[in-house]
Amino acid sequence: TITFEGNSFLPDGTLAGFIQSRESPSGLSQFMHGTFWGAFGSPAEIFDPLTLERDVDVLSDLYKTRGFYNATIGAGYSADTAQRTVSIRFDIIEGPRSFIDTLIYGGIDSLSGELKSRIFGGALFKQGDPYEADVVSREIVRVSNLLQNSGYPSSRFDYEAGGAFRYTSTNNFEIRLVFETGRLYRFGEITVKVEPPRDDITDDLTLRHLDFKPGDLYSRDLRVTSERNLNRLDLFEAARVDQEAAPESLAGQVIPMRVLVKPQPRNELSPELIASDENGALNLGLGVAY
């Protein structure tokens, strides 16, 4: 058996999902596994003291990511030689939790009021909330995606200036979310290339399925959804929507776009196998579909 003592913030099931030590399955499951050469059931789990040591480190790191920097994890085991089993016990002292003492968003002063409202309005945490490392990471991803879909394809998180900084005196955190936005860009002229060329595949046919037009703010998501729209038409073997050049290499703030499409064959013959039970007999035949 594996038991956890002293934990209140993280339930047993969550802790068990992170460790490598496992309880053995039922005797029936082990019997089925041995009888049917592993096709059914599961084998017994083998106890490994080194794995138990690693589990202690894993749980310690897990608590730190949830803001419990003073948590202490201990583990022990007892063996039943007669039953050839081992019982494992984890003893946990969670200690006080860290909170977000200070929250700073940097590098966004030049953004429009509407975009800043979306950044602050959708924030995943606020000053005074408990610190959780994965929530901070998700907030960085959220803001980065928002910038790249609002005309800033060169934006990135500044890992040198930003991050999570813990005060040893209070055990709380200062969170600095600093971004380098780069220049504001818009979609430029769109060039369509059909390979091989087809008279019936016109530029207008392709362009009307794009989710953007020249002059719109650049958006990575709109470029991706436009490419998906073209590939769903069943007219093309492949379709790709891409930039003519990287934004950093452009003198202006307009990004020319290109659409590359490879049409499906206009006429296609495919063989088919025909089967029926007409007149109570099995009938087989070959056919050609156009």
What confidence tens digit (pLDDT) does each residue in 31-47 have? 777 787 777 778 888 88
Task: Give backbone dihedrals phi and psi of 103, rounded to 5 degrees, phi first.
Answer: -130, 125
Across 165-171, average pLDDT: 92
Beta carbons of 256 and 241 less than 8 angstroms apart: no
Judge whether residue 175 has pLDDT over 70: yes
Q: Give the Cα separation of 124 and 180 in Å (integer).
A: 20
What confidence tens digit (pLDDT) does each residue in 221-237 have? 999 999 999 999 988 99
Judge whether residue 139 has pLDDT over 80: yes
Q: Give the Cα separation of 259 and 230 in Å (integer).
A: 10
Q: Which residues contact 50 (CB under 8 A, 6 or more apart)?
A: none
Per DSSP bridges, beta strands 85-93 and 72-80 are antiparallel
Beta carbons of 122 and 36 less than 8 angstroms apart: no
Query: Lowest-pLDDT range, 219-228, 248-257, 271-280?
Result: 271-280
- The sign of the dihedral angle between the CA atoms of 15, 20, 26, 27 is negative
Judge whether residue 290 has pLDDT over 60: no
Confidence of residue 281 (pLDDT cuts 50, 70, 90): low
Give the burial class of 268: count Cβ atoms within 10 A of its Cβ; 0-12 exposed, 13-18 middle, 19 or more buried.
Answer: exposed
Across 174-199, average pLDDT: 95
Angle of helix 133-148 relative to helix 113-121, nearest 10 degrees? 150
Q: Give the Cα separation of 34 and 32 in Å (integer).
A: 6
pLDDT of residue 124: 97
Beta-bridge partner residues of 262 = 238
Confidence of residue 127 (pLDDT cuts 50, 70, 90): very high
Per DSSP bridges, beta strands 100-106 and 173-180 are parallel
